[in-house]
Amino acid sequence: MANPLIERLRRARQTGVPSQGRHFTVRRPTDLEMYEMAGKVNQRLLLTRFVTDWGEMKEMDLVPGGGPAPVPFDPDLWAEWIADHPEHWDDITRAVFDGYKAHEAEMEAVAKNSVPGSAS
């Protein structure tokens, strides 16, 4: 069983993103992940590493002739499916970057307010 605090930290980095009538959950990258990706960020990485849920996906949404049964999110299945669905790429990529930019701005504001001698 995963550590509940780790799960809470990860959920705190998540946000929903609507795209073409679907709803996905993305996780903003951590500072360390952004550092590791510096200069080598690619869309495939953003699309596969930072999506954590695909809302209500049914088998028929994934494969032609599939049934109506809901399919739980699976990172490997997601990576295979999203590779053929460019209509979602920009929305998801933008949401991942926007999540990180918002985090970065929040950390800058916190740092400004915690500088000794600064006005509170």
The confidence score (pLDDT) of residue 63 equals 92
Range of the domain at 67: 16-100
pLDDT tens digit sequence for 59-116 = 999 999 999 999 999 999 999 999 899 999 999 999 998 999 999 999 899 888 886 6
At 32, is the pLDDT very low, low, confident or very high (cuts 50, 70, 90)?
confident
Whether 113 is covered by a domain: the verdict is no
Is residue 108 in some structural domain? no
Give percent of the chain above pLDDT 70. 92
Alpha helices in 23-113 (DSSP H): 31-37, 43-49, 59-62, 75-82, 89-113
> What is the value of pTM for the model shown?
0.74
Average pLDDT, the chain: 87
> Is residue 120 situated within a structural domain?
no
